[in-house]
Amino acid sequence: MKILMMAIAMMIGAGPARAGLVAGEMAPKFRIDKVLNAPVTKVSQASLKGKVVFLDFWATWCPPCVASLPHMNKLAKAMKGKPVVIIAVTDEPTDTIKDFLKTHEIASWIGIDLEKYAVKAFKANSRPQGYLIGRDGKLLAHINPTALTEKDLLDAAAGKFEPKPIIDQYETAKESTGTAKTYFEMKITSPEGKFKMSSGGGEFETRSIPLAYTIAQLWDVQDDQVIVDSRTVSALNVYLKTSYENYDQAKELLKSALQSSLGIKVTPEQRETEVYLLSLSTAPGAPRPKPAAPDARLVLTSYGAGGMVGTADMDKAASVFWIGMDKPVINDTGLKGGYEFDMQWKYKDKAELEKLLADQGLALVPGRRTVDFLRVTPVKP
């Protein structure tokens, strides 16, 4: 097994000064001579006129760029069929990008800017950086890709996005803090020590945990939703420490690092399978779950294979009931909002759990549904 160890100190920012770029004026002329994952093979400012364009300057070696991929993929998929084009622009070789795509999804167009025509036009010498261009070719904003929203793109398409001053976010952050700060610390090593699994407060750690369990924890699914076709390792240690604010992005990067270091790819897959449907009782006068207070936080103070205490929505409740059962449990109650739970039952004792559920007017009904799984496969050299 490869051992990957990282400790990265970097400033979260947009890069050096953007001299000469003015929001509301025409964007710099640029061209990208090779485009992947698109209906065209090359693009230019002129060829994209009439469309909103977001140029996402990124690189495979840039941790925040890799961490932003799920967010950018979500936006790219949401913009399908709309006059909006998102281009992930890199000046790395095509072979490097194709190797990267073996373990990472990029849903947007991918611009290979080897000649740096776009990089130089936007003075994008650091990563990540993002530029929003209107349908009329005018520069609207300089936005960190993780801060870009679906509303920004739709407003730009409708001509409602107000141009924002081009501010040097990197220099502003540096002046306010004085020094750079550690973005995250991450380690993936061979298994050692006693079994441990914990997360929260900006930290994630598994020690001597099987691969499927680690993936389930990182991807926030049940253990039996993970199908492992690759037995590259039996167990491993994984450690991540970052700030609470950066945790989601750092966790996405950890997912990427795990796949790269082990030579695997984790892909979503759907299958129809037997399940239990968490349903409302149809018996006359049956009780109902107790709603949480309208302003209550949905937090479970404890939960696991034999208990659940706190407030949660029914999707979360179903996922807790799933733990320890021999089939997936899917919420079919139709209930919205949070509910109070204070339940303890013997692990895998379905009869005891069903009695507790009946006291709240709930039941586990056998059925079939399409369920999301994750398949772990080796990456072909």
Give Cβ neighbours of residue 170 (< 8 Å, ≥ 6 apart): 11, 13, 14, 15, 16, 126
**62 and 134, same domain (yes or no):** yes
pLDDT at 168: 47
**78 and 148 belong to one structural domain:** yes
Mean pLDDT value across residues 25-41? 95
Between these two residues, 227 and 61, which has the higher pLDDT value? 227
Of 198, 230, 262, which residue sits at a domain end?
Answer: 262
The most distant pair of C-alpha atoms in the chain lies apart, rounded to whole Å, by 73
SS3 letters across 66-83: HHCHHHHHHHHHHCCCCC
Asked whether residue 127 falls in the same domain as residue 256, the answer is no
Both 149 and 191 in one domain: the answer is no
> How confident is the model over 219-234, as pLDDT tens digits?
988 888 999 986 677 8
pLDDT of residue 167: 54
pLDDT of residue 231: 67
Residue 372's pLDDT band, with cuts at 50, 70 and 90, is very high
- Tell me, yes or no, whether 96 lies in a domain: yes
Is residue 315, in this structure, part of any structural domain at all? yes
* pLDDT value of position 130: 93
What's 134's domain CATH number?
A: 3.40.30.10
Residue 67 belongs to a domain: yes
- pLDDT for position 330: 94
Taken in order 291, 293, 298, 304, the sign of the CA dihedral is negative
pLDDT at 121: 93
Mean pLDDT of 76-90: 97
End-to-end alpha-carbon separation of the chain, Å? 16
In a domain, residue 210? The reply is yes
Whether 346 is in a domain gets the answer: yes
Based on C-alpha coordinates, what's the Rg of the chain? 24
Confirm whether 381 is domain-assigned. Answer: no
| Structure tokens that stand for 171 in this block | 């220099």
- Comparing CA positions, the residue from 164, 183, 334, 174 lying closest to residue 248 is 183
Could you tell me the pLDDT band of residue 11, with boundaries at 50, 70 and 90? very low
**Does some domain include residue 223?**
yes
- Which of 82-96, 164-178, 226-240 is the least confident region? 164-178
110 and 243, same domain (yes or no): no
Q: What is the pLDDT of residue 177?
A: 43
Crossing angle of helices 211-219 and 247-262, rounded to 10°: 150
Statement to judge: residues 296 and 210 lie in one domain: no
The residues facing 52 across adjacent strands are 84
d(CA 58, CA 71): 14
**For residue 38, which phi and psi values (nearest 5 degrees)?**
-145, 165
Asked whether residue 139 falls in the same domain as residue 190, the answer is: no
Q: Does 279 share its domain with 353?
A: yes
Smallest CA-to-CA distance from 241 within 209, 201, 275, 291 is with 201
Q: Which of 236, 262, 288 lies at the terminal end of a domain, its last residue?
A: 262
Asked if 124 and 118 count as a contact pair (C-beta separation under 8 A), the reply is yes
What is the extent of the structural domain holding 61? 18-167
Same domain, 81 and 115: yes
pLDDT at res. 183: 60
Smallest Cα–Cα separation from 29: which of 13, 9, 49, 14? 49
Quickly count: other Cβ atoms within 10 Å of residue 175's Cβ. 9
Better-scored residue on pLDDT, 58 or 262: 58
Output phi, psi for 345, to 5 deg.
Answer: -145, 160
pTM of the model: 0.61
pLDDT at 173 over 70: no
Beta strand pairing call for 34-36 and 109-112: antiparallel
Judge if 281 and 319 occupy the same domain. Answer: yes
The total number of structural domains in the chain stands at: 3
* Mean pLDDT, residues 162-189: 59
- 133: confidence class by pLDDT, cuts 50, 70, 90: very high
- Domain-terminating residue out of 138, 167, 196: 167
Within a domain: 10: no
Q: What is the pLDDT of residues 249-301, one digit of tens each?
A: 778 878 877 887 788 888 889 999 999 999 999 888 899 999 999 888 888 88
pLDDT band at 303 (very low <50, low <70, confident <90, very high): confident
Is residue 27 located within the same domain as residue 162? yes
Do 90 and 132 fall into the same domain? yes
